[in-house]
Amino acid sequence: MSDNITQSAAEAAIGQGNEPFNMTPVEAALPAEEKPNMAQKADWGDPVPYNYNAYTKDATHEWESNTARYEWDGDYGDVGPEFPELELQLFGDPTLRGKKGIDFSTIDSIEVFQEGPARIDPIANFEDAGLHPVMLKNVQLAGYDAPTPIQRYCLPAIHNGYDVIGIAQTGSGKTAAYLVPILSKLMGKAKKLAAPRPNPATYKPGVDAPVTAEPLVVIVAPTRELAVQIFNEARKFCYRTMLRPCVVYGGGTFRDQQEQLGRGCDVLIGTPGRLVDFLERPAVLTLRRMRYIVIDEADEMLAEDWKPQLDKIMAGGDQEEGTINYMLFSATFPKAARDLAKTHLADTHVRLRVGRAGSTHRNIAQDVIEVAGPKKKQALLDYMNDLKPQRVIIFANSKRTVEELDDLLYKNKFPCTSIHGDRNQKEREASMRAFRCGDCPVLITTGVSARGIDVRNVFLVINYDLPSMDHGGIEEYTHRIGRTGRIGHHGVAVSFYDPARDEPIASVLTRTLLETDQEVPDFLKPYVPEGVARENLKFEADSDFEEDAGAAGAAGDAGDAGEGWGSGWGTGAEGAEGVEVPNNFGPAQSTEESVPAW
């Protein structure tokens, strides 16, 4: 099945002139251009049999860490020549580039708050960001027409040398927000700052001596899938820059990753454990040249108690104080992440919040259906049988349930694949490739994939199990449904609510639905707050901020800009949440700002 299967089901409906069949009220409310085309017993194609010999110890496998990247053996200064074949591989078919969602308005109007000691004038377009001409061309090749809210502020902040904390909704363009300006800043300086590396045209592994990897940029991600995702974006933006990206992650072959580092590395993406493994081999990897470090999804790593590894990584090498720029990005930002920021970031830094921390947006239509546990499997089959072929991600809470659903859908002729923590890395990478290319457009997974998947045209996310409040809660829910409705597209998130086990999440789930004007089903209406509480919805993350601010105030530190981390992350010199934020579009604003359509 080709990649065109999900371009999307909506486009297929328009082309055939069909009326959608048996839509839910949420799907029926979507714009006509993005309504799913549904037909009973739709032809999904043949399911792909599981190859039990493909992932054995001796089986051949092309690791994601070995994927092709731009390398040039000539002396072209800081800019290399174009390679049309690699360009096609990195950026895709030129006729399909830049196909963004039809409704960018809900992203445009998201409130942007500057809450740190430093203030930034946002840019209106990428041409105003001071980018190197080659980087600007790469941005255009990637199909980016206009910056998202987080990009409008991050690009000038990083360009001007600030440390940055960026809190933005999943699917808001955080990865490009830091990759583009960092790599652009390094262009023209690579020869001076970067370590020497062997000529890729003549280097022979096992014959020529490897070099020590001395990256200028280190990006830390909590999951293997997210690390690979960032690496693939880095491959795009490093095109023609003469900066060499690498990725290291657990489960992948240590030898292959070490061999890639031995060829030289300027931009290193990795998971904490594998990064520390290599740092303990100083002949292989050192951070003494590091100039930028980015912690992506910081809340997830701190929740997993990876602080010792992060502290080792963030310490860098023997750089002089002040030579490293620190950046933390996430969709939520709990106290542990704030403490990490206070430890490492400069006093004068930029803190940005795009929307409420942990919120989702209105482009994702959320439908919560009451289904008792024993009836879930039949409910899933009924729902899937009504869908026209399209990309679907199904989340479950346990590895066993993922396996059961994989078997169930396969036996019912759905081309599906699955990922969970017990699968070896070869299986996980093969599953992601099958999902991306459309061979297996149905992916069943645990929360291990909630933050690592950015695949074009995922129309539907199904929460077969709602997240447990003890394991991720509403933040996990936000990340899961954020796999659809990305960058201006519409998407649908369907969640099965089991009254026997999901009551703990009911209250905050109801408030999440209200926040984005979703329909609240009758069985959740008892959880709808009343009066002032209905008009000013409160979330647990907000309470955490308020408690932190209260403690600071009691200690007499509330007036200090570096310590005032209340709900507005600043009750000191810069004022509370909603202060006037200067921009270059006219009068100062405190909330919604006009952003050019994507």
348-394 pLDDT, tens per residue? 999 998 765 445 556 789 999 999 999 999 999 999 998 888 899 99
> What tokens appear for 503 in the block?
């009551």
Residue range 524-540: mean pLDDT, rounded? 84
What tokens does 586 get?
A: 């006219």
531 band by pLDDT with thresholds 50, 70 and 90: confident
| CATH number assigned to the domain with residue range 113-354, chosen from the 4 options 3.40.50.300, 3.40.640.10, 3.30.2270.10, 3.30.9.80 | 3.40.50.300
% of the chain exceeding 70 in pLDDT: 73
The pLDDT tens digits for 102-123 are 344 455 556 678 887 889 999 9
| In the block, residue with structure tokens 């280190």 | 218
Lateral strand order in the sheet of 458-463: 364-370, 491-497, 458-463, 391-395, 442-445, 416-419
pLDDT in tens, 62-99: 788 888 999 887 665 678 899 999 999 999 877 765 55
Is the pLDDT assigned to residue 155 strictly greater than 80?
A: yes
DSSP category for residue 4: G
Contacts of 518-526 spanning 24+ positions with Cβ under 8 A? 518/26, 518/365, 518/366, 519/25, 519/26, 519/367, 521/368, 521/369, 521/370, 521/497, 523/370, 523/497, 523/499, 524/368, 524/497
The CA distance from 182 to 101, in Å, is: 27
CA atoms within 13 A on the CB side of 547: 8
Taking residue 304's Cβ as centre, other Cβ atoms within 10 Å add up to: 12
Q: CB under 8 Å to 584, separation ≥6 — which residues? A: 121, 122, 123, 124
Stronger pLDDT, 254 or 48, i.e. the higher one: 254
Query: Alpha-carbon distance 113 to 545, whole Å?
Result: 15
Cα separation, 91 vs 82, in Å, equals 13
Q: Does the pLDDT value for residue 565 go beyond 70?
A: no
- Nearest CA to 389 out of 83, 99, 41 is that of 41
pLDDT of residue 15: 29
User: Which residues are 93's β-sheet partners?
Assistant: none
Mean pLDDT of 209-224: 94
How open is the CA angle 497-500-506, to the nearest 5 degrees? 50
User: Which residues face 26 on adjacent strands?
Assistant: none
Contact by Cβ (8 Å): 369, 523: no
Lowest mean pLDDT among 127-136, 403-412, 462-471, 544-553: 544-553
Q: Positive or negative, the Cα torsion across 554, 559, 564, 566?
A: positive
From the list 265, 271, 274, the residue with the least C-alpha distance to 220 is 271
Contacts of 155 (CB under 8 A, 6+ apart): 123, 126, 129, 131, 147, 177, 180, 181
Structure token pair of residue 591: 């909330």
Q: What is the mean pLDDT of residues 15-29?
A: 39
Is residue 157 helix, strand or coil?
helix
Question: Which one is predicted more confidently, 84 or 452?
Answer: 84
| Cα dihedral 231, 62, 242, 144 sign | negative
pLDDT at 53: 56
Q: Within 13 Å, how many C-alpha atoms sit on residue 393's CB side?
A: 33
Average pLDDT in the 431-454 region? 82
- Which is more confident, 96 or 471? 471
In eight-state DSSP terms, residue 213 is: B
pLDDT computed for residue 471 by the predictor:
82
C-alpha to C-alpha distances, 166 to 304, 347, 489, nearest whole angstrom? 20, 16, 22
- Is 575 or 241 the better-scoring residue by pLDDT? 241
Residue 509: CB atoms within 10 A of its CB come to 23
pLDDT at 145: 85
Q: What is the pLDDT of residue 580?
A: 33
Which of the four pLDDT bands, split at 50, 70 and 90, describes residue 588?
very low
The β-bridge partners of 247 are 269
Give domain limits for the chain.
Answer: 113-354, 361-535
What pLDDT is recorded for position 535?
Answer: 78
CA distances from 342 to 15, 335, 352 (A): 54, 10, 15
pTM over cut 0.75: no
Q: Which residue has the higher pLDDT, 336 or 554?
A: 336
Residue 52 tokens, joined: 């039990």
Nearest to 298 by CA among 343, 273, 341, 329: 329
Banded model confidence at residue 299, pLDDT cuts 50, 70, 90: confident
Mean of pLDDT values over 47-63: 63
The pLDDT-based confidence of 323 (bands split at 50, 70, 90) is confident
How far apart, in whole angstroms, are the C-alpha atoms of residue 298 and residue 495?
Answer: 26
pLDDT band with cut points at 50, 70 and 90 for residue 566: very low
Whether the pLDDT of residue 101 is over 60: the answer is no
Q: How far apart are CA 447 and CA 163, in angstroms?
A: 30
| Topology (CATH) of 361-535 | Rossmann fold (3.40.50)
| Residues 549 and 567: beta-carbon distance below 8 Å | yes
Percent of the chain with pLDDT over 90: 40
Higher per-residue confidence, 318 vs 269: 269
For residues 284 and 427, which has the higher predicted lDDT (pLDDT)? 284
As a whole number of angstroms, the distance between CA 590 and CA 598 comes to 22
Confidence of residue 13 (pLDDT cuts 50, 70, 90): very low
DSSP element (H, E) containing 443? strand 442-445
Give, for 473, the enclosing helix (H) or strand (E): helix 473-481
pLDDT, tens digit (0-9, with 9 covering 90-100), for 394-414 = 999 999 999 999 999 999 999
* pLDDT at residue 437 in the model: 84
**113-354 against 361-535: fold identical:** yes
Query: What pLDDT is recorded for position 490?
Result: 79
- The dihedral sign for the CA sequence 151, 154, 159, 160: positive
